[in-house]
Amino acid sequence: MTDGEEGFCEAIDRTVLASLRELQDVGDPDIIAEVGGLFVEHSPERIKAILQAVVDKDAKGLQMAAHSLKSSSAYVGAMRLSDMSKELEMMGRANVMDGAKEKAERLKAEYMRVRTALDAEIKLAIESSK
């Protein structure tokens, strides 16, 4: 990101991915493909649970689903998504559902940005390990 891109945040923090790459052992499956693949596999159910909790006005369900997404998002470098998840988690914890629908919709849009960026990173990781 350059100074001229104010207001725009990369979907994935590449320094987090670089830190993950440092954990890569020779001969093991690519760590970005592995970790990213797990996120891609499990995150849709977390997004769905967040959206459903909002519809159901289920503060505890919102808290739990958002907490789970917060942690996994941070692990793959999706820091903005993690922050948005934390905000929804705190709303659920405080039993405050006003505005949760709008925040959940923004979270879903950010998730789509993350998926696009992460899918590209996984593809690149797989291709470079061939």
Measure the CA–CA gap between 34 and 41, rounded to whole angstroms.
Answer: 10
Spell out the residues 6+ positions from residue 74 whose beta carbon is closer than 8 angstroms to its own.
Answer: 16, 82
Each residue's pLDDT expressed in tens, for the chain with a length of 130 residues: 333 333 446 899 999 999 998 998 888 889 999 999 999 999 999 999 999 999 999 999 999 999 999 999 999 999 999 999 999 999 999 999 999 999 999 999 999 999 999 999 999 988 887 7
89 part of a folded domain:
yes
Please report whether residue 76 resides in a domain: yes
Domain holding 104, by residue range, is 28-124
Tell me whether residue 114 is in a domain. yes
Residue 64: inside a domain, yes or no?
Answer: yes
Q: Write the DSSP symbol of residue 12.
A: S
Determine, yes or no, domain membership for 17: no
pTM of the model: 0.89
Q: Is residue 20 part of a domain?
A: no
| CATH code of the domain containing 57 | 1.20.120.160
Residue 71 domain flag: yes
How many distinct structural domains can be found in the chain? Answer: 1
